[in-house]
Amino acid sequence: MYDSTLRAHLDELHPAYRAVHTIADPTLRTEAAKIIDFALTQHLPVPAIDQASEANGCWRAAIQTAHPDRKCVSYILTNFSAWWKRIEPPARPAFLEGFPHLAPAVHDLSNAGMGHVIQAVNRDPRLLPVIYSYAMTTGEAIRAVARLATSCDVAQLQKLVDVFPAQRMEASKDAERFLPALGAVPDALPLALVLTEHNVSSAYAVCRALKNLDRPPTYVDDFRLLVECIGISVSGVCLHELPRWHKQHGAEATHRFVQAAAECGRTYGVHAGQQFLERRTQAARQLLP
């Protein structure tokens, strides 16, 4: 009996409520009203709600998760509808479930970073949990992971979360810098995973060096194979000698030598493999002069 009075009251209160009146589903209508209520209560921009969207519950959960960061909440209120429209139907269930976890980081992600998130989740919905695993880290780190998620192998990115969980960033300055350095060399992810399992400082140093290193396409695979079979002691040779070998002897000859050094390390131990890689014997030098 009070419908007309309440409608008039809401229309006077704010124009955004007019869209809520058109939503027939009571659950969706309530979610939409709660978004407007939150914005008005917190004196934040009131978003336009132009349809009965299944995403309204996700939208509301996201602003609650991001609260009390007013900049972040305001950013979500202003942009969520546009982001949702860019999510392809197969990816929407994953986005609805995962976006509230990502919400505290979206202001740090900014427009470019959110573009990467949308590209990644449309590419493979399994990538959203990878990205939001780092939501509570630094802006540089979350932007780097979002960038990696647009092109890197999904299984390898999932492994990154396992071998380098967000908590590890608190261990050292090198650990804090590792993800931004990796984000600049996405092709190095397989190598970085192996290095990180040994020592995150080594992984950071290598990623930083690779950014400015002129290297052939097979270089990272050769580097990774040597680390897997001999260990991080090969890093110096791989950074300073391996690129030169590729240029001087070619990828095929260099790879044969790398395979021999890796087999030596795998079968006879780190010392033997390292000595072969450094061409300490005549036999090693014959394979790669």
CA 13 to chain centre: 42
Q: How many CB atoms lie within 10 A of CB 201?
A: 18
Q: What is the pLDDT of residue 2?
A: 64
* Contact partners, residue 159, CB within 8 Å, separation at least 6: 193
Q: Is 127 left (phi over 0), alpha (psi -120 to 50) or beta?
A: alpha
Which residue's structure tokens are 């014997």? 281
Q: Measured between alpha carbons, how far is 84 from 69 in angstroms, rounded to an integer?
A: 21
Cβ contact 175:134 at 8 Å: no
126 secondary structure, DSSP code? T
Helix ranges restricted to H, the chain: 3-13, 17-21, 26-41, 56-66, 70-86, 92-102, 106-123, 127-132, 139-148, 154-163, 173-183, 189-198, 200-210, 219-229, 235-240, 242-249, 251-268, 270-277, 282-287
pTM beyond cutoff 0.85:
yes
Q: How does pLDDT run along the chain (289 residues), one tens digit per residue? A: 567 888 888 888 888 888 888 887 888 888 888 999 999 999 998 888 866 578 989 999 999 999 999 999 999 999 999 999 999 999 999 999 999 999 999 999 999 999 999 999 999 999 999 999 999 999 999 999 999 999 999 999 999 999 999 999 999 999 999 999 999 999 999 999 999 999 999 999 999 999 999 888 899 999 999 999 999 999 999 999 999 999 999 999 999 999 999 999 999 999 999 999 999 999 999 999 9
| Residue 82 CB burial class (10 angstroms; 0-12, 13-18, ≥19) | exposed
* Contact partners, residue 28, CB within 8 Å, separation at least 6: 52, 53, 54, 56
